[in-house]
Amino acid sequence: TGGADTLRAAGVQVERGLLADEAEEGNTAWLTSVRLGRPHVRWKYAATLDGRVAAADATSRWITSAESRADVHRLRAESDAVVIGSGTARADDPQLGVRGVEGAVQPLRVVVDTGATAVRPGARILDPTAPTLIAVAQDAETAHLPQDAVLRLPRAAIGPGLDIPALLAALHTRGVRSVLLEGGPVLAGSFVAARCVDTVVGYLAPVLLGAGPAALADAGITTIAQALRLAVTETVRIGPDLRVTAVPARKGN
């Protein structure tokens, strides 16, 4: 926005493009905010080696190791907001706070609960650990919820749920620049369908289930030509598990 010209006018030698890749990586959330006008979204999931996030009977604790779960708290600590869906809220009653990370600032906790039926009085996500938003449809009945925690949004134009870009825009106006998406397959599918996932972090456990829900539900992809291709940026062993980080591949790659 003209900073280089200002420095040159003051007699300072200015060079461009130095350590550009490193600067991009270190400022990902801010750059996404500037370029797209929404927070940077990092989708995290934990799955078996055959891609299941739960068994056929819906049990899922614990697929990955204690080391991987501790690493997720690091991701939370790096994020301005943590987002889950109504399915996760019902099944796990999560608290979503950061534990085991010294000096961490607790992120905003967000539940996408379209019909306002998943979060009930006494839910752990309503405790005083951190601020909470419950994103609901504009016509949802919310008398049972703290009104200062209610965020009303339009429904998605196609399919169930809320309008994901509207959700991210609302979070952006609240100063959220980085989102950790910890929701289940359905919510993840909505974000992918909206092309609002910037980074994928998958924790893969050396476990096989053979049945149960996959990591990603319907994302509006009906043919292989529409597949969201990813570029792997990092693979790391976390205890017995493998953490894979990937970003959407650039066109032509």
At the topology level, CATH places domain 44-248 in Dihydrofolate Reductase, subunit A (3.40.430)
Residue range 132-183, pLDDT digits in tens = 999 999 999 999 999 999 999 999 988 789 999 999 999 999 999 999 999 8
Q: What does the pLDDT look like over 101-134, one tens digit per residue?
A: 888 999 999 999 999 999 999 999 999 999 999 9
Residue 228 CB burial class (10 angstroms; 0-12, 13-18, ≥19): middle
Q: Which amino acid is at 191?
A: F
| Tally of CB atoms within 10 A around 55 | 16
R_g (Cα) of the chain, nearest Å: 20
Total length of the chain: 253
Is residue 252 scored above 60 in pLDDT? no
pTM above 0.85, yes or no: yes
Q: Which two tokens stand for residue 11?
A: 């007699």
The pair of three-digit structure tokens given for residue 86, joined into one six-digit string: 């109504």
241 has a pLDDT exceeding 70: yes
Instruction: Extract the tokens encoding 168.
Output: 């991210």
**Sequence-ordered list of residues with C-beta below 8 angstroms from that of 69, at least 6 positions apart, any chain:** 62
Helix (H), strand (E) at residue 92: helix 86-92
Omega prior to 30 cis, within 30 of 0 = no
